[in-house]
């Protein structure tokens, strides 16, 4: 684990981060971790009830006031994404980072048993939407002296073994997209990176590894802390893999 912990709770003060999938397990803890270090977090997702609860939790902790912008990543119209980012510009006039945490697993099983509609949904949420969101965020991100786009992969799914289905394919695709984007952005103020949590206690892990003991697994809070540190240092060489 990367143990270079920030020395101040104001390390991210004045920075604005957009977090997709903020109502999910890792999205929730990452939003809290970033807010703890002084960032203003923009919470987006489909579950408004969970977003409202997270908003209240951040407020009650005394962290910077977050923003909520509900958004459905199943949308494919680029203009809708542009309008979404325009609303962020109108409110904050800046964006220092995009953290693509939204994820849809679909079915873990033989490829031949998976409905095409499920395949399309996995690819839309995990790959297409994160790629499009990254694209429309770039102009605003490039106005910052230092900005980042973060994608999440999976230490098991990325190995391309049997039965990981569309989810496994999506994680390999996301890594490839991030690498290409990073190469294109090399001479700019924006970095593109992939964060790999490794084995950890998250709802998604329960689906892929049923019956697994939690003992020895990293907690969601530990993963979120490491993710924030990686974003701070632009250092994704150390992942939480065992």
The pLDDT tens digits of the residues spanning 12-54 come to: 999 999 999 999 889 999 999 999 999 999 999 999 999 999 9
Residue 237 counted as domain residue:
no
First to last CA, the chain: 9
Within-domain flag for 44: yes
The active-site residue out of 37, 81, 104, 167 is 167
User: 112-141, pLDDT tens digit by residue?
Assistant: 888 999 999 999 999 999 999 999 999 999
Tell me if 146 is assigned to some domain: yes
> How distant is the alpha carbon of residue 91 from its chain centre?
21
Q: Determine, yes or no, domain membership for 93.
A: yes
In the predicted model, what is the mean pLDDT of residues 202-208?
A: 55
- Domain residues for 216? 16-231
Residue 107 falls inside a structural domain: yes
pLDDT at 36: 95
| pLDDT confidence of residue 162 | 87
% of the chain with per-residue pLDDT over 90 = 64
Q: What CATH number is associated with residue 124?
A: 3.40.50.720
Residue 215 pLDDT exceeds 80: no
Model confidence, pTM: 0.88
On whether the CB atoms of residues 100 and 126 are closer than 8 A, the answer is no
239 is a domain residue: no
Q: How many domains does the chain have?
A: 1
**pLDDT tens column, 92-105:** 999 999 999 999 98
| 167 is an active site residue | yes
pLDDT bracket for residue 169 (50, 70, 90): very high
Residue 238 included in any domain: no
Residue 198: inside a domain: yes
């Amino acid at each position: 684990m990367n143990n270079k912990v920030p020395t101040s709770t104001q390390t991210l003060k004045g920075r604005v981060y957009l977090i997709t999938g903020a109502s999910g397990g890792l999205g929730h803890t990452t939003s809290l971790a970033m807010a703890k270090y002084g960032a203003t977090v923009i919470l987006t997702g489909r579950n408004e009830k969970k977003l409202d609860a997270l908003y209240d939790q951040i407020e009650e902790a005394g962290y910077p006031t977050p923003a909520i912008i509900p958004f459905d990543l199943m949308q494919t119209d680029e203009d809708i994404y542009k309008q979404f980012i325009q609303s962020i510009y109108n409110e904050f006039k800046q964006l220092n980072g995009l953290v693509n945490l939204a994820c849809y697993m679909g079915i873990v099983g033989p490829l031949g048993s998976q409905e095409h509609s499920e395949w399309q949904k996995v690819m839309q949420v995990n790959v297409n939407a994160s790629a499009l969101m990254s694209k429309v965020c770039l102009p605003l991100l490039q106005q910052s002296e230092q900005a980042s786009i973060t994608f999440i992969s999976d230490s098991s799914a990325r190995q391309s073994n049997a039965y990981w289905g569309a989810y496994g394919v999506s994680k390999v695709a996301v890594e490839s997209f991030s690498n290409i984007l990073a190469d294109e952005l090399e001479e700019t103020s924006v970095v593109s990176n992939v964060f790999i949590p490794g084995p950890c206690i998250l709802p998604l892990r329960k689906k892929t590894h049923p019956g697994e003991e939690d003992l020895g697994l990293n907690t969601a809070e530990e993963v979120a802390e490491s993710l924030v540190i990686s974003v701070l240092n632009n250092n994704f060489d150390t992942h939480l893999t065992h």
